[in-house]
Structure 1
Amino acid sequence: MTRRDNPFLVCTGRSCWPDLGQSAILGLGGSALSLQIVTKTKLTEQDKESLFRWGTDLWDNDRYALTWRSTDIHCVGYEENVAVTQAGACLHILNHESNELRIGGLNGVITRPEARGKGYGNLVVGAAEAHMRDEMDADFGMLFCHPELEPYYDSRGWVKVESPVTIVQPEGPRKTSHTVMVLAFRNAVWSDTPVVLNSLPW
């Protein structure tokens, strides 16, 4: 049996990592309650209900009418067994400046309103960053966000891509209207020249 045939491994591109399912990988103390972070490949219906169905247009992206790429893994934070925060990640192989780069795409970052102000978002984003670096073996993290979120990600070491980034949509390629930021792993250096992603955004 090869690694890719193993039903207990998740394989994307050239990376494989354990399918952790419901297994907790990290328990961290919150300000009042403890947050348990679980890395999983699929959200349960209860997770989706708790994380995404408390409002509409949660990321303020409906105005762009974009098609988004799916997530490979979810780092979900549970407070008393209820999903209250999550950050997702996907692996993308990018050909940029004649180099093949492994890109970890950070996406789907969200925290329920009543769970905000406790640092939970930092914890799940940190878990997703670690997964991209250590399990996906990414050269860089990359995210799409609104300008008002730049200071937050800047404080975590992410750097804004100043050059245009072209994304894929069903009707064809287009330049993204979002801010794009990258996080270097393993002392990699980003070449800030125009990017043709050859992928849906995430």
Structure 2
Amino acid sequence: MNETLRLQRHEDLSMMELDALEKLFDGEYLSDYGRWSPDAPYGYSPADFHVLAFQGPALAAHVGFQRRVISVGTDDVVVAGTGGVLVDHRFRGTGLGGRAMRHAQKAMRDEAGVDFGFLGCRKDVVPFYESAGWLEVHATERCLSRLDRISVIVSRGGPTLICSATRDASEWPHGDIDLRGTPW
């Protein structure tokens, strides 16, 4: 089957691409979280950039990221806050998720010009991200609640992962993390 991976800026998504994204996300999350919205996906921060992975005409995978300045310790750091990582169940186990993630990491460097990729995830998916070059960092993280966008949430459990973009992951500063907004 013909595989195509492409980067789309959020504002350039076509109605067809938005419909395909809604179908992909609702196919996975509708019963637990309700309908997907491109501007507030399940209350998380929306993506500025979308990696869309097609198998033939079908949208088979997605990786989204938003460019944002966060603080780590006393440093301001430009990150690609990554979320909406999803592979259609029919294409899981094919390596498509890793290819989409690597495409996103290249876009983080070449298109978004961020220092690092950044994401939070469940413990059971850490090995997937590590296989794509992400590294776990241990720090206390503050963010605004995705439910009310006002309350401050403090998390010490992670997992939180970063990847190299325009800076090498070994240069990640030490200290507590403030996302200065909602998570991705």
TM-score tier, shorter chain, comes to 0.7 to 0.9
**1:187 alignment partner in structure 2:** 168
Q: 1:54 aligns with which of 23, 27, 34?
A: 27
Give the fraction of aligned pairs with identical amino acids, expressed as a percent.
22
Counterpart amino acid of 1:132?
M
Does residue 196 of the first structure (1) align with residue 178 of the second (2)? yes
Structure 1 residue 120, shift from structure 2 partner: 0.9
Q: What does 1:31-180 align with in structure 2 at a 5 Å threshold? A: 33-40=1-8, 41=10, 42=13, 44-56=17-29, 67-169=43-145, 170-176=149-155, 178-180=158-160
Distance 1:102 1:45 in 2: 27
Give TM-score scaled by structure 2 length.
0.80
The count of aligned residue pairs is: 166
Structure 1 residue 180, shift from structure 2 partner: 1.1
Structure 1 residue 178, shift from structure 2 partner: 4.5
Structure 1 residue 52, shift from structure 2 partner: 1.4
Counterpart of 1:167 in 2: which secondary structure?
strand
- What root-mean-square deviation, in Å, do the aligned CA atoms of Structure 1 and Structure 2 show? 2.3
* Shift in alpha-carbon separation, 1:45–1:191, aligned structure 2, 3 A: closer
Instruction: Name the structure where helix makes up a greater proportion of residues.
Output: 2
Structure 1 residue 171, shift from structure 2 partner: 3.4
Distance 1:57 1:178 in 2: 25
User: Per-residue displacement from partner, 1:164-188 (whole Å, max 9, x unpaired)?
Assistant: 1111122321113642111133335
Instruction: Name the structure where strand makes up a greater proportion of residues.
Output: 1
Distance 1:49 1:135 in 2: 25
Q: Which has the higher contact order (CA 8 A, sep 6+)?
A: 2
Distance 2:133 2:182 in 1: 24
Instruction: Find the structure with the greater CA-based Rg.
Output: 1
Structure 1 residue 106, shift from structure 2 partner: 1.6
| Structure 2: tracts of 5 or more residues without a match | 35-41
Give TM-score scaled by structure 1 length.
0.73
| Structure 1: tracts of 5 or more residues without a match | 1-32
